[in-house]
Structure 1
Amino acid sequence: MHVISTDENQVFAAVQEWNQNDTYNLYISDTRGVYFTLALENVKSSRRLEGNVMIDLYEVAGIKGMFLANKKIDNQVKTFITYNKGRDWRLLQAPDTDLRGNPVRCLLPYCSLHLHLKVSENPYTSGNIASRDTAPSIIVASGNIGTELSDNDISMFVSSDAGNTWRQVNNVKHSLECQMKGRLSFDEGRSWSKYSFTSTPLFVDGVLGEPGEETLIMTVFGHFSHRSEWQLVKVDYKSIFDRRCAEEDYRPWQLHSQGEACIMGAKRIYRKRKSEKKCMQGKYAGAMASEPCVCTEADFDCDYGYERHTNGQCLPAFWYNPSSLSKDCSFGQSYLNSTGYRKVVSNNCTDGVREQYTAKPQQCPGKAPRGLRIITSDGKLTAEQGHNVTLMVQLEEGDVQRMIIQVDFGDGIAVSYVNLSSTEDGIKHVYQNVGIFRVTVQVANSLGLDSTVLYLHVTCPLEHVHLSLPFVTTKNKEVNATAVLWPSQVGTLTYIWWFGNNTEPLVTLEGSITFTFSVEGMNTITVQVSAGNTILQDTKTIAVYERFQSLRLSFSPNLDEYNPDIPEWRRDVSRVIKRALVEATSISSKHILVAVLSGLPTSAELFILPYHGTTGENKRTAEDLEQISEILIHKLNQNLVQFELKPGVRVLVHVAHLSAAPLVDLTPSHSGSAMLMLLSVVFVGLAVFVIYKFKRKIPGINVYAQMQNEKDQEMVSPVSQRESMPNVPQSELMSPEQLVDEKLDTRPIGK
């Protein structure tokens, strides 16, 4: 928005709507500057080199309410003029003859005069149009005659009667200072005289006038050639005039618009210097006499919310409810009921239809509340746990002073107010828990009631996401993945799951999913958690094989002294242990995967993998895995596997107890859940030990394989946030489009 003027307690503003690129709409306000009405649509704009936006609107000096504007119509720019602050606009009538006296065939509205309305930002140069308070009837501008404004065939035009008629004074493209270069006119451009200011032709760059409207001194600056320095020429017009103008040198001139003398509710008569008198302007220049006119419909514009129809009447716009003006009105008071019209600001008309068109005082009616709304002060549907949220109650109509307002925040707290004015600054509330809260507002008076609901999402900032996932799994076995959050209670979340190189993610509202892998190899899983404007993610890699074996490892107690129990340390130590196993056993590193588990005492899971090449050759059988396991067990039992943690600190690696399944790595913040998991593993391990005691010669080995005639072993899934998790095969996972169509599960609100 650009403010054009703020004269006479009224704002003239240009606003660019959503569907406009190089045009603006002109709006004019009431005397309070609160309510605006449309004055003119699609006014042309341009952007200067400095980035400033210039609106093609020009206010004529010396005549209040008179403007010129360039409007874009069907990709053509045309010049319009108004004498009553935008209430009425019309095209400019082209001159009857050209410079040579030949008739100009230009018929309205197909052909008219168009002017360039750009005003210079440089105080030393003039623009394309000029007018002065001391010469209210004279306008000098550059433009062209035709169907639209053009940069070709530009001429200079002068109006001596405030834009009613125009004369062409030059057919060469000149700025105003160029006209001062060597030609002068004393009769409003009807005739020109040549004057020589310099002995050598001067290229004029700018003109600077002395302060004051009656100055007769002008400084012209320019250069004799493109390579010469600037030259300053001071021109004093005193020698041209031999006297100041007296009263008899002036004649009365009445302002009019196409013959209509009543403009802005008055007949205004100005004093103009007679064109044949060659004298300096005196104190009589611009002096004016004014006589009020009887008010007519032309003195009134459409009021706020009303639009002028083809029949000339101002009727309510489709979006406006005239009764809304009384919504702040209490029973027993009065308000001004608009007739759909308002007198143009600064209009001086009297009597006539003024009483008919002026707003009438009316008693405030008793109304039941209607159009109740509740929104947050920032317009969002979210709030942060533990912080103030401001709720705004809005009502289209109703007796605001005689009603009771009840607000239920949905968290067990409710408040009441005796009138709507007490809630003007908003209703503040602090939610102590996260969730979706149903905020209910009810407004009632003796005539009725209204209610509305707002569903507010209260969240707290999400700080960390950890993807809980087994390190290794068997092919075609169900695997559970869980996104563990910190803090655990955040609010409404969306989970986006990415599997390997898939280009389309899985979107869920639950933080845990179950899936299967049908192909052996390394697979990457990424989970992104969206909480409001925050998105965090974690990525894990899981190895998938048809069969593998695992072994639990323990360490000498001195390792616990240096265990900070953080993921980064566990990853580094896992690599060190793997390197120590490879050095002690000469087994290829491709067959070994080590994962240090969280918590104390320090322990790790050793996975023996059936690695094979991409061609499938040299694939390890179950017997091969057992042979590798025997070698590892033998070296570990002989204390041959050790590593140096730091100078002077050596750590021994031992065989621990039997593990029932590959375990998962949890963050330190969830070590309590990890301990519960470990306890469950101990009980499962004892049961498996009894079974395997009679089936395996080598103690401490857990074999994972897909058995044809046996019940498949069950993997120990990571700790879940819910007691039961969805069991969804990978082939049945929903796509984002399917998720939108799926009916959401009902969950408690505000809990």
Structure 2
Amino acid sequence: KKQPEAADVQIVSTDENQVFLALQEWYQSDTYNLYQSDPQGVYYSLVLENVRSAKQPEESVLIDILEVRGVKGVFLANQKIDGKVRTLITYSKGRNWEPLAPPTTDMNNKPVSCKAPDCQLHLHLRWADNPYVSGTVHTKDSAPGLIMGAGNIGSKLIEYKEEMYVTSDCGKTWRQVFEEEHHILYLDHGGVIVAIKDTSIPLKILKFSIDEGRTWTIHNFTTTSVFVDGLLSEPGDETLVMTVFGHISYRSDWELVKVDFRQSFSRQCVDSDYESWGLTDLQGERCIMGREQTFRKRKDTSFCIKGKSFTSVLSSKSCTVTAAALVSCQHRSFTEADRCFADFWFDPDSPPEDCHLGQNYESSTGYRKVISNACEGGLNKQQSAKKHSCPLLPPRRLQVGIKGQMLAVAPGDDITFIIHQEQGDTSSTKYQVDLGDGVRAIYQNLTVTDEPIQHRYESPGVYRVTVKAENGAGHDEATMYIQVTAPLHEVHLEVVPIARRNQEVNLTAVVLPTEANLTVFYWWIGDNLQPVLTLQNSLLTRFPNTGEVSVTVQASNGRSMVKDTRIVRVYDKFHVLPVSFSRNLDRYNPNIPEWRDDIGQVVSKIVSKSTGVPQESLVTVVKAGLPTTADLYILSGDTPSHSNLESHSPWLRTEDAYPPLCFRKLRGNHSIYAQMHNEKEQEMTSPVNHSEDTQHIIQGDEFIDDDLDTHTLGNAGGTHPTTMGRRMHTKKYIVLN
């Protein structure tokens, strides 16, 4: 049965080759379940449910779990069930969780009426719902067992209660030290604890303790009250110098006040100034994470400096394994009775992944030693394990790749394929390789010998490479696609040079060679620094403002890159005339951008000379494809040249659609006529060779230097028409002699 997907995953810890992972199930909103991994980090078992969480600014998530520094395997976590939050502690890296024992007396040494299981100690860990509570539990590597934090006693954590509690035996016993939240700083390996009240009013005093919070001394650190923002210590765990930073008023600059506690001590500590204490859990068990650890701490009556050479660990020795000495469940979860029950996905008799044919393995009993547990001997939960012969396992997790992780290769490049199989037998497995270009081969024991598969593709294209691994137990298949691409030579951007504001315009990139495949196009329009990416060689766009707009296209296929830039002039108004050509021209149309540009310039120059309109006001765009057609753009404006065009060209003043402008040849000469008329073109034949005549057109400007005359062929004599209003019944020709 398919399990619902998790909503979110957060990594809590990756210490000692083991992953602590917080996973939010589909049914959870403000809690996560805590999972612990096996040594490989592949399989996970549930160790604690419903750990409180909260979203922070910028969508970051905080899981309310804290690793206690100084002692391995100790974590604090806030569990939320039915709206109630309570604090739990583990000494076994998640195997057992227990609530914190409340203090027996208050800060005035009066008995506390708080008894388990209805009353425990609860702490704000990584954050507090109250924004005015810092919510940080203070621990330090050089001060093992010393934990200080804000919270309350009762049946649940109350967000706005911020009493301060301290423990010097790693959470076994606690003492209340303040009724309100304080900033905390450890100096001299925890030999000095500094506390300043966390308040919105300015302060002059701080408190410090040299006996692990049992007694406190008041010290005036400034003569002027300061709004305290935090505490800093100088580098080094042994330092006794700290800085209070804040401000005198909300408009003032930072104020830094240095406090030196070295004058409070007259000497360095010696061996007789220390006493030992043994680490235990809440049940009094000395064997924690497979070791019995003894630490030393300064006596309450010794007023001396621990200094740089101080070490806290006095002794650490392995202890005998017992059921309570943290034998972990393997692929299983614990119940209240400390019994292991298999996770839904685990088969205790399944062979391990590295089990090869001919070898033996032991089935799992459901228990294993905790990864970071250093215990030896004693209880052996694996003694009842059964031995099995490794079966023939089918290939699994087959992968195929290219050495060097190349995205694309060129024709003729040498390619080395790498095949990797994570699970299953390899010695008796056959590997059928199909390289996608007709080359096939069969290999034996391929992933063990690391025999490379080398190949060379001669032609561009996309090739499907498949590898099928098969033995008597099953088969697996892997597929990859390799792109073989010839380098790009050039790209030509085709776009109308004239465009109307806010009108849709098509941008087209013509890539050479034309058989280039899997090309990505980057389009830069105007001053925009962010390109538009497409897999097609065209893009529809609009220009919102008039003026000249630069358009650049960059084509890339993983092996090479080419680009082209064009300038588009954007207007509010202009005229467009469709232009058609004689069919003879189609025979010599190579359908390339350069040829179309040349023909467009020829037409613009002819029209300019025959009409008197400045050539800069005329733009001819020859369209791609056959038959050969074009658009003649007449730019509107108030310049004299535009007025001249309208006065000499009656067809520009018509309110009807402009008839087509046609280029054609007449019999017996080399003249080219441009005809603008809606009537059917007359059939004409020419005794001269069409190939020769058409070549004159293709040659561009060389034949435009001849005289140009404009004739109106409305009658046999070729005289001008007597009435301008008869323009739709008059044939207008541009004649090239």
Which category describes the TM-score, using the shorter chain as reference length? 0.5 to 0.7
| CA apart distance, 1:163 | 1.1
Question: For 1:45-444, what aligned pairs fall within 5 Å after superposition?
Answer: 58-70=66-78, 79-95=87-103, 98-99=106-107, 101=110, 103=112, 112-117=121-126, 128-131=137-140, 136-145=144-153, 152-177=160-185, 178-179=194-195, 183-185=207-209, 188-190=212-214, 192-196=215-219, 200=223, 206=231, 208=233, 218-222=240-244, 226=248, 230-238=257-265, 246=272, 250=275, 255-265=280-290, 277=301, 287-288=314-315, 292-296=319-323, 299-303=326-330, 306-308=332-334, 312-318=339-345, 326-335=352-361, 337-349=363-375, 353-356=379-382, 362-367=388-393, 369-371=394-396, 373-376=398-401, 384-386=409-411, 387=413, 391=417, 393-395=419-421, 397-422=423-448, 427-435=453-461, 437=463, 439-444=465-470
- Taking a change above 3 Å as real, the CA distance of residues 43 and 448 of structure 1, as seen in their structure-2 partners, is same
Matched, 1:10 2:10: no
Amino acid at match of 1:153: K
Question: Hey, what does 1:551 align to over in structure 2?
Answer: 582
Q: Report the secondary structure of 2:288's partner residue.
A: coil
Question: For 1:407-486, what aligned pairs fall within 5 Å after superposition?
Answer: 407-422=433-448, 427-435=453-461, 437=463, 439-445=465-471, 447=472, 450=475, 452=477, 454=479, 456=481, 458-460=483-485, 486=512
- Taking a change above 3 Å as real, the CA distance of residues 425 and 162 of structure 1, as seen in their structure-2 partners, is farther
Q: Deviations over 1:2-26 (max 9, x none)?
A: 78564xx535566788999999887
Task: Calculate percent identity across the aligned residue pairs.
Answer: 29
| CA apart distance, 1:164 | 2.8
Q: Deviations over 1:145-188 (max 9, x none)?
A: 56776763322101244213322210122112453865455664
Amino acid at match of 1:551: S
CA distance in 2, matches of 1:588, 1:284: 94
Question: Hey, what does 2:636 align to over in structure 1?
Answer: none
- Taking a change above 3 Å as real, the CA distance of residues 23 and 658 of structure 1, as seen in their structure-2 partners, is farther
| CA apart distance, 1:363 | 3.7
Amino acid at match of 1:413: V
Q: TM-score if structure 1 supplies the norm length?
A: 0.56
Amino acid at match of 1:175: H
Amino acid at match of 1:158: V
Amino acid at match of 1:263: I
CA distance in 2, matches of 1:635, 1:102: 124
Q: Deviations over 1:183-204 (max 9, x none)?
A: 45566434x3545566847757
8 Å contact 1:465–1:538 — kept in the other structure? no
| CA apart distance, 1:464 | 6.4
CA distance in 2, matches of 1:307, 1:325: 20
Question: Hey, what does 1:703 align to over in structure 2?
Answer: none
Question: Hey, what does 1:637 align to over in structure 2?
Answer: 671
Question: Hey, what does 1:674 align to over in structure 2?
Answer: none
CA distance in 2, matches of 1:234, 1:255: 32
Q: Deviations over 1:254-295 (max 9, x none)?
A: 6132445553346656667776x5565999976457683452
Q: Deviations over 1:633-652 (max 9, x none)?
A: 999739999xxxxxxxxxxx
8 Å contact 1:253–1:272 — kept in the other structure? no
Q: Report the secondary structure of 2:182's partner residue.
A: coil
| CA apart distance, 1:139 | 2.3
Larger RCO (CA under 8 A, 6+ residues apart): 1
101-110 vs 62-71, greater mean Cα deviation: 101-110
Q: Report the secondary structure of 2:149's partner residue.
A: strand
8 Å contact 1:3–1:13 — kept in the other structure? yes
CA distance in 1, matches of 2:266, 2:631: 109
- Taking a change above 3 Å as real, the CA distance of residues 45 and 325 of structure 1, as seen in their structure-2 partners, is farther
| CA apart distance, 1:84 | 0.7
Q: TM-score if structure 2 supplies the norm length?
A: 0.57
Q: Report the secondary structure of 1:581's partner residue.
A: helix
8 Å contact 1:552–1:606 — kept in the other structure? no
CA distance in 2, matches of 1:144, 1:270: 29
Amino acid at match of 1:89: W
- Taking a change above 3 Å as real, the CA distance of residues 608 and 406 of structure 1, as seen in their structure-2 partners, is closer
| CA apart distance, 1:606 | 8.2
8 Å contact 2:18–2:371 — kept in the other structure? no
Question: For 1:520-535, what aligned pairs fall within 5 Å after superposition?
Answer: none
Q: Report the secondary structure of 2:604's partner residue.
A: helix
Q: Report the secondary structure of 2:582's partner residue.
A: strand
8 Å contact 2:135–2:149 — kept in the other structure? no
8 Å contact 1:584–1:635 — kept in the other structure? no
Larger helix proportion of the pair: 1
8 Å contact 1:60–1:67 — kept in the other structure? yes
8 Å contact 1:94–1:145 — kept in the other structure? yes
| CA apart distance, 1:301 | 2.0
| CA apart distance, 1:419 | 0.8
| Structure 1: gaps spanning 5 or more residues | 119-124, 470-481, 496-508, 513-526, 555-559, 642-653, 667-696, 699-751
- Taking a change above 3 Å as real, the CA distance of residues 298 and 608 of structure 1, as seen in their structure-2 partners, is closer
2:513 pairs, out of 473, 478, 487, with 487
| CA apart distance, 1:587 | 11
CA distance in 1, matches of 2:102, 2:451: 57
8 Å contact 2:106–2:176 — kept in the other structure? yes
CA distance in 1, matches of 2:631, 2:343: 79
CA distance in 1, matches of 2:232, 2:537: 75
8 Å contact 2:124–2:136 — kept in the other structure? no
8 Å contact 1:437–1:458 — kept in the other structure? yes
Aligned residues: 575
CA distance in 2, matches of 1:375, 1:612: 72
CA distance in 2, matches of 1:76, 1:434: 65
8 Å contact 1:265–1:295 — kept in the other structure? no
8 Å contact 1:552–1:658 — kept in the other structure? no
CA distance in 1, matches of 2:135, 2:266: 25
